[in-house]
Amino acid sequence: MKTIGMIGGMSWESSAEYYRLVNEEVKNRLGRLHSSKSILFSVDFEEIEQLQASGDWHQAGKLLGQAAKSLEMAGADFIILCTNTMHKVIQDVEENISIPLVHIGDATAAAIKEKQIQKIGLLGTRYTMEMDFYKSRLAAGGLEVLIPGEQERTEINRIIFEELCMGTVSETSRTFFLDVIQSMVAEGAEGIILGCTEIGLLVQEGHTDIPLFDTTRIHVKVAVDYALSN
C-alpha cells in the first residue's frame, strides 16, 4: 500500500472528513483491521484565507508547496490537496515535489463522464466558481459548466466561509443550496458538483434527486485506487 500525503486544514472540518473517508474506503476494500497509510500536513487556514482574500496566490502556493515537500520527505508516495479552491496553485505545489499529485478536478471530471453527463452545475467558493483554474480542467474533460448568478454566488461563498468552515450546519442554508440546485437544473444542468470540500457536510444525496458529485468522496476513492495499485 502506498502512503498518501494529505495537505489539509482548509478547513480542518473537511480534512477530518477526508481522513475518516480514506480509512473507511481502505477498510471496505481490504477488510479486517486495515486502514490507510497516510501523513497529514495541516496548515493554518486563517493564513491561507488572508492570502486568498488579498490575491497573493503566489505566497499561498509557496506555503502549500513547502507542505507538499515536507510530506514527500516524510515518506509520502503521492499527494492529495484536500481542498478544491487551492488547486489554483497546483503548479506551485507540483514544482516542489518529485512524487505524483492526484488532482481533484480530474477525478471529478472522470466521475461525471462515467455517468454520461455533458452539462454540469458547479457550486464552490467564489474563487472556484468564477476563476478558470477549475472550470477549465472540467471543460478539458468535455464538460459544459454552469455556475449560479452573482447574488447566489455571494451567499454560497458566505455560507462556506462563515458557517461550514466554522462547523455550523444550518437547515436554512441547506434549503438555500437546494433552491440554487433546482434553479441550475432548470437551466439545463444534468448534475451538480459539490465543488468545495465542506459542501458535502451540508448537502447529501438524500436531500435531492438530482445527481450530486461530492468532490471529497470522489477524490478519496481515486486516492485509494492509487494507493492500492501496483
Q: Catalytic residues, which ones?
A: 83, 196
Q: How far apart are CA 113 and CA 148, in angstroms?
A: 21
Q: Is 75 left (phi over 0), alpha (psi -120 to 50) or beta?
A: left
User: Cell 455571494 identifies what position?
Assistant: 154
Q: How far apart are CA 92 and CA 160, in angstroms?
A: 25
Q: How far apart are CA 93 and CA 60, in angstroms?
A: 10
Q: How far apart are CA 121 and CA 187, in angstroms?
A: 9
Q: How far apart are CA 98 and CA 70, in angstroms?
A: 12
